[in-house]
Structure 1
Amino acid sequence: MAKYDAVIVGSGPNGLAAAITLQQQGLSTLLVEGSDTIGGGLRTKELTLSGYKHDVCSAIHPMAMASPFMRSLPLEEYGLSFTFARYEAAHPLLRETGAVLSRNLEETIQQLGDDGKLYRSLIQEVVDRWEILAEDTMGPLLFPKDPILLASFGWKAVLPASWVASRFKTERAKALWAGMAAHGIQPLSNWTTSAIGMVLMAVGHRFGWAIPVGGSQSIADALATYYLKLGGEIQTEVWVKDRAALPDHRLLILDLTPKQILSIKGLNFTSSYERQLRKYRQGMGVFKVDWALSEPTPFTDLRARQAATVHIGNTFADVARAEREAHAGKVVDRPFVLFAQQSLFDRSRAPERKHTGWAYCHVPNGTEYDYTDIIENQIERFAPGFKDTILARHTYGPKALEAYNPNYIGGDINGGIMDIGQLYTRPTRSLTPYRTADSSVYICSSATPPGGGVHGMCGFHAARTALKDHFGIIINLP
């Protein structure tokens, strides 16, 4: 058996990021994956009909361009390319003109009318100084590089999204804000829910919301190809149940959730550390539907037909109600639906003159309720005739998602709720949450800061911590 400096378990974006970071420093590493393909949440498959490429999990990637780690890699040399829509996101309304997020900040501000000034005060600084802010927010809670900038961002980011919404005058501004903040997958009255809304809007203006040509799998493939070029090794179809079954290694890096980690034998954890992991809280799950479509989705709002992502939920009040009730365990008849239409901007996704649709809504964790009709009915309200374009569909409920990717406990795609109690203190209350009670074991999944999203920063920070602890190698953010 080969001896490795590190074995990384799980080939999602964070597992790949950890493996790349260690391999860049000359360590010998092995990346193992339980599935037959690498990628975690970065997979693309023909789920409905032949020739229709569907992103199984993540689809549109605001953070892929905004992540310091991802931007540091020469992934375009390994086959990765992005395309972009006319608008990064659209939020149609039923009774009046909706709103769009344009990469052009001034264009977005102008459409908001009386609320443009407030929008600028909320977003401008984040747009202008993202690179510095990213260093201070996309990782553990350490002494900030720019304390004043972080404080300026933080006092707004910590607020409940509902508080910020109350300052807007127009329904379109409130609705646009609701859709962005609802990516946090929790009630909009929770503290810190403004953070995700501010970041998604700001990086949309700064970098755009990227669509990987060929599907999200192309991001994973480029990362893996680069990793192999560095000398790393990958093994698929390896489900880790006992550390002793792995090849001899010095360090173990886990791109896994606390629940999965607790099931692995041979980890030398203290009882108190295990108790902390057991207390880790999951968030809402998602119910996802993919469609093969005969034509583009006929949104009544024409700008929604030019957006990569469409937030479907109507007013702020409607979105807030849907998120609150789903979090409380209720079946919501008109949920907040996140809809993506990649084939409009990447023609490799479907046969000629045909299209794909991708959508999910937030649901009670682990629910077995079938939301297919609910999701399709909600889309139909804003795109009459949508149902007539459906050629085939594929659905993933929370349990099916967890079976497909065990990191999605109960359908929780964020790796644990990212509320104020777990935004940075995840999965334990530690300034270095990537370390475990076993000094040779580290966690690099989205259950560590900065949490969910395709950015690789959890993996980078876990590898960075391990390099310092065991090899005396100190590396800075790219």
Structure 2
Amino acid sequence: MTTRRATVVGSGPNGLSAAVALARAGFDVTVVEAHDAIGGGTRTAELTLPGFRHDVCSAVHPAAFTSPFFRAFGMREKVGWLIPDASYAHPLDGGRAAVAWRDLGRTADALGTDARAWKAMLRPLSRRIGGVVDFTGNQMVRVPRHPVTAVRYGLRALELGSELGRRSFRTEEAHALITGVVAHANTALPSIGAAAAGLLLAAQAHADGWGFPVGGAQAIPDALAEDLAAHGGRIRTGERVDDLATLDWGDPRRGDVLVLDASPRLALTLPDVPDRWARAIRRFRYGPGAAKVDFALDGPVPWENADVHRSPTVHVGGTRAEVEASENAVARGRVSERPYVLAAQPSVLDPTRAPAGKSVLWSYIHVPAGSTLDPTELVTRQIERFAPGFRDRVLASHATTATDLAAYNPSAVGGDFSGGAVTFAQLLARPVLTPAPWRTPVRGVYLASGSTSPGPGVHGTAGWLAARLAIADTTGERVGLDDLFG
């Protein structure tokens, strides 16, 4: 019997997860990667000075521990993880800060009059994080397997994503703490889609925590690539694919498959794409971009509040009103003078990331799509606001504009590394409204990037679900995670 071939375009976490699943299912798998190093958005490199290891795109991975695929794969055991007591922090003026400790009770107690409200919102979701992930991680148009949790999650997202959210809390600290995670979505606020994404992040903060690998994000694709090689798969680097019509990926009539960890637009380069589907893909909207700056520091960031030193992830943006103003400015095509900065300081727990006594700092702001803005000065001023003396600690920096990001990763159209606008409509239709959005109308071709349900994040879920569908379509067998890893 002829072995079925599988070709995967892109070696990000979704592409490699698809490749691992297909290889374990008996396919002869080849991954094609444009760059010389694997990983896509989960690469680690010396971007500033020798000995300073920076994450090229993603840095902290809340979804990695709750991902069903990564759990079955054993990612937690195969990679050395650091799990902070403080999942994320949000500094405020006057040396104040709100901290989302992994211990929900500790977090709530520090919020004073908002303690009960914080527990009421997040305790049911963090305790049943598996049900939340199941609801958000497959496809929202299906009937949820945990309906009570799904309803609670949905009602809270509706609350936070509307004007009702302004009455959810009383204190500036609690409002800032929830807005900081909601703002990850990179869209105008308030927004139901952003609230849904932020609620999942906040629940993960109090469940398994916001972990990150020792040495950098590169450890995640490296672990997947090792497993792929052990099951006969291979990776070809330095091969950029811009036109699928020129790619020899096999014969779909005999069960060969093509999986795209790339923008769905790449599928439009295939011959015989139905017009209706092509129009839907062209209608799929991308959001604003991101502009990133990595710093090599002569010591830790000198935060005014001592608790902020303990959190690898820091949301720098001031009050809820300031964060919303920053995000809404970007949605209108401009950048605030006081932008919302998402920062990660892995050196607080990981001494391997910089020479002894030094630190690395990863940061980005949201910007209009296609922006060429260098964010270094804006980010420096905003961090200096809450960490006086920060500027003096900077040894070197490396800026990546939204245009640079799009050039590095064509899936990040306009610099949008979420793979598409995070709106309520596009969480349902990602990239099209169907119970199986990973399948294209072209036989044997599947989508598996962050532009596909369940959306952005380092979780491998889109890759696994695309691979599972491909296996079922070509072999007639419904393969589960236990079948592959049990």
TM-score (normalised: structure 2): 0.94
- Does the aligned pair in 2 maintain the 1:88–1:204 contact within 8 Å? yes
| C-alpha contact (below 8 Å) 1:17/1:460 kept by paired residues | yes
Residue 3 of structure 1 and its aligned partner are, at CA, apart by 6.8
1:161–1:181 CA contact under 8 A, matched in 2:
no
Q: How big is the shift at 1:471?
A: 1.3
The residue identity in structure 1 corresponding to 2:437 is: P
Say if 2:65 and 2:208, in contact at 8 Å, map to a contact too. yes
State yes or no: 1:255 paired with 2:261: yes
- Could you tell me which amino acid in structure 1 is paired with residue 377 of structure 2? D
Question: 1:401 Cα deviation (Å)?
Answer: 0.7
Once the two structures are overlaid, the 10-residue window that deviates more, 54-63 or 188-197, is 188-197
**Residue 121 of structure 1, CA deviation:** 1.3
- The answer as to whether partners of 2:95 and 2:304 remain within 8 angstroms in 1 is no
Paired position in structure 1 for 2:343 = 339
* Structure 2 residue 238 is the aligned partner of structure 1 residue 237: yes
1:368-447 pair list within 5 angstroms: 368-447=372-451
1:381 and 1:96, CA in 2 relative to 1: closer, same or farther beyond 3 A?
A: closer
Q: Are 1:156 and 2:156 matched, yes or no?
A: yes
Distance in 1 (CA, whole Å) between partners of 2:8 and 2:173 is: 45
1:130 aligned onto 2:129: yes
CA–CA distance in 1 between the matches of 2:83 and 2:61? Answer: 10
1:175 aligns with 2:176: yes
- Cα contact 1:13–1:456 (8 A) shared by 2: yes
CA contact 2:72–2:481 (8 Å) conserved in 1:
no
Cα displacement (A) at 1:120: 1.1
Partner of residue 58, structure 2: 58
- Between the aligned partners of 2:237 and 2:30, the Cα distance in structure 1 is 11
Deviation at 1:322, TM superposition (A): 0.4
Identical-residue share of aligned pairs (%) = 39
Instruction: Using the TM superposition, give the Cα deviation of residue 386 of structure 1 relative to its aligned residue in structure 2, in angstroms.
Output: 0.4
Alpha-carbon shift at residue 477 of structure 1 (Å): 5.4
Instruction: Provide, for residues 81-120 of structure 1, a one-character-per-residue CA deviation record: whole Å limited to 9, x for no partner.
Output: 1112331111011046221011111101111111111111
CA offset at residue 296 of structure 1?
A: 0.4
Greater mean alpha carbon deviation, residues 333-342 or residues 267-276: 267-276
Q: C-alpha separation between the residues in 1 aligned to 2:200 and 2:247?
A: 41
Which segment drifts farther, 220-229 or 237-246?
237-246
Instruction: Answer yes or no: is the 8 Å Cα contact 2:3–2:26 preserved in 1.
Output: no
Evaluate the alpha carbon distance shift between residue 379 and residue 81 of structure 1 in structure 2; reply closer, same or farther with a 3 A threshold: same
Task: Please state whether the residue corresponding to 2:257 is helix, strand or coil.
Answer: strand
Query: CA shift at 1:426, angstroms?
Result: 1.0
Q: Is the 8 A contact 1:268 1:437 kept in 2?
A: no
Corresponding residue number in structure 2 for 1:210: 211
Residues 1:447 and 1:247: Cα distance change in structure 2 (over 3 Å): closer
SS of aligned partner of 1:51? coil
AA partner of residue 415 (structure 2) = G
Structure 1 or 2: more helix by fraction: 2
**Counterpart code for 1:282:** Y
Matched, 1:108 2:107: yes
Give the equivalent residue in structure 2 for 1:198.
199
* Cα distance change of structure 1 residues 420 and 77 upon mapping to structure 2, 3 Å threshold: closer
Q: CA RMSD in A?
A: 1.6
Partner of 1:39: 39
What letter is aligned with 2:103?
N
Q: Structure 2: how far apart are the matches of 1:365 and 1:87?
A: 32
Look up the equivalent residue of 2:121 and give its one-letter code: L
Pair 1:319–1:71, CA change in 2 (3 A): same
Deviation at 1:202, TM superposition (A): 1.1
Partner of 2:223: 222
Give 1:9's aligned residue: 9
Q: Counterparts of 1:118 and 1:322 in 2: how far apart (Å)?
A: 26
1:260 is paired with a residue of what secondary structure? helix
Deviation (angstroms), 1:247: 4.3
Distance in 2 between the 1:432 and 1:11 partners? Answer: 22
Q: How many residue pairs end up in the alignment? A: 474
2:461 to 457, 462, 466: 457
Structure 1 residues 162 and 393 mapped into 2: Cα distance closer, same or farther (>3 Å)?
Answer: farther
Distance 1:419 1:213 in 2: 33
**1:306-328 Cα deviation digits (max 9, x unpaired):** 11111000100000010011111
State the one-letter code of the partner of 2:128: R
Cα drift, residue 370 of structure 1: 2.4
Q: What one-letter code is carried by the residue in structure 2 that aligns with 1:43?
A: R
Residue matched to 1:21:
21
Match of 1:325 in 2: 329
> SS at 2:258's partner residue?
strand
SS in 2 for 1:41: helix
Counterpart of 1:19 in structure 2: which amino acid?
A
Between 1:67-76 and 1:408-417, the stretch displaced more is 67-76
Name the amino acid aligned to 1:33: E
SS in 2 for 1:310: strand
Aligned-partner Cα distance in 1 for 2:200–2:371: 30
The 1-side partners of 2:289 and 2:462 are apart by: 21
Distance 1:473 1:3, change over 3 A: closer
> Letter of the aligned partner of 1:418 in structure 2?
V
Name which of structure 1's ranges 89-98 and 295-304 shifts more when overlaid on structure 2.
89-98
Residue 310 (1) aligns with residue 314 (2): yes
What per-residue deviation string (whole Å, max 9, x for no partner) do you get for residues 349-403 of structure 1?
0001111111001111111122221111111101010000011000000010111
Displacement of 1:404 after TM fit? 1.2
Change (3 A) 1:367 1:420: same
SS in 2 for 1:422: helix
Q: Is the 8 A contact 2:91 2:97 kept in 1?
A: yes
Give the superposition deviation at 1:293.
0.5
* Cα distance change on mapping 1:76 and 1:423 into 2, 3 Å: closer
Q: Is the 8 A contact 1:161 1:192 kept in 2?
A: no
Structure 2: 5+ residue runs without aligned partners? none
> Matches of 1:162 and 1:93 in 2, distance apart?
23
Distance 1:362 1:161, change over 3 A: farther
CA distance in 2: counterparts of 1:324 and 1:247, whole angstroms? 43
Looking at structure 1, the residues matched to 167 and 289 of structure 2 have their Cα atoms a distance apart, in angstroms, of 28
How far the C-alpha of 1:29 sits from its partner, in A, is: 1.5
Q: For residues 183 and 270 of structure 1, do their structure 2 counterparts lie closer, same or farther at Cα, with a shift above 3 Å needed?
A: same
With over 3 angstroms needed to count, the CA separation of the structure-2 counterparts of 1:403 and 1:65, relative to structure 1, is: same
Instruction: Kindly provide the amino acid, as one letter, of the partner of residue 417 in structure 2.
Output: I
- 1:348 is aligned, of 345, 352, 362, to 352
CA contact (8 A) 1:161 1:193 kept: no
Q: Which amino acid aligns with 1:115?
A: D
